[in-house]
Each structure stands twice: as C-alpha cells, then as structure tokens.
C-alpha cells in the first residue's frame, strides 16, 4: 500500500486524480463511495496507509469511522458551485441543491445570483 490513499467518489474524479498524481509514486487512487469508501479506508489503514484524501459524503463517512489515519477533505470551490448552478439554470428557473453539508455549505448565499448567457 502506498502511504497516501485518494478515494474519489466518482469515475471522473478518479481520472482527474490519476492525471494529477501520475508522477507521484506515493499516492494510490481508488474509486469509493460512502460505505464502500469506509471499507477501503479501513483495509488501507491495516496495510499501513498514512493519510486518506477524499471528498463529500465519503470524507464525512471516513472521518466518522474513527480511523487513526488523518482524513484530508477535498473542498468544493466557489467556482465549482457557481459553475454547477449556472449549468442547472439552463434546464429551468427553479434549482434545488441537494448534497452533504460539507459540499453545499454556503450555497444559500448564492441564491440571488443572476446568470446571463
């Protein structure tokens, strides 16, 4: 097991993470969502992983599992939120935002933002 495990919650993030870490020999990238991520993290910890990187609900679930390896959370940037809201507005005026608190925290502050194409 490599010392750093990056658990991505979806395939596109796995692809991006593999590109970003291509030259790093100390990072292993795996796909894992929620309970599956916790199982993978536990196994990795037993194999000597030193740190776990994840995002959203997977990061929360791993943190709640009380592992000894530190969990580093990949944050969602304001650009990510604005981009997602802008794309959603193309499908209709009313947009609902659903997600884990650590992902959508602060989105209510973007509620009155006007988008123009």
d(CA 37, CA 60): 10
For each of the domains in the chain, give its residue range(s) and CATH number, in order of start: 4-73 (3.40.50.2300), 78-110 (no CATH)
| pLDDT value for 65 | 94
Q: What is the tens place of the pLDDT at every residue in 63-85?
A: 999 999 999 999 887 777 778 88
Q: Quickly state the pLDDT bin for 90 (edges 50, 70, 90).
A: confident
What is the predicted pLDDT for the residue at 47? Answer: 96
Q: Would you say 54 and 30 are in contact if contact means Cβ atoms under 8 Å apart?
A: no
**Per-residue pLDDT, 36:** 93
Helix (H) or strand (E) holding 104: helix 101-104
DSSP string of 70-101, one letter each residue: -EEEPPPPHHHHHHHHHHHHTT-S-------H
The mean pLDDT of 31-52, rounded to a whole number, is 94
How high is the pLDDT of residue 32? Answer: 93
The 3-state DSSP composition of the chain as helix, strand, coil percent (nearest 5) reads: 45, 15, 40
Cut 0.95: pTM above it: no
Residues in the chain: 117
Question: What is the reported pLDDT for 85?
Answer: 80
| Alpha-carbon gap, residue 38 to 59, rounded angstroms | 9
Residues 9-22 have a mean pLDDT of 93
């Amino acid at each position: 097991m490599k010392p750093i495990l990056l658990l991505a919650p979806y395939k596109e993030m796995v692809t991006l993470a593999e590109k970003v870490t291509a030259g790093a020999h100390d990072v292993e990238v795996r796909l894992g969502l929620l309970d599956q991520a916790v199982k993978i993290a536990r196994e990795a910890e037993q194999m000597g992983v030193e740190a776990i990187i994840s995002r959203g609900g997977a990061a929360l679930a791993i943190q709640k599992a009380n592992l000894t390896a530190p969990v580093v959370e990949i944050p969602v940037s304001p650009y990510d939120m604005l981009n997602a809201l802008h794309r959603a507005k193309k499908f209709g005026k009313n947009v609902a935002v659903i997600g884990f608190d650590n992902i959508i925290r602060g989105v209510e502050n973007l509620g009155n933002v006007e988008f123009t194409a």
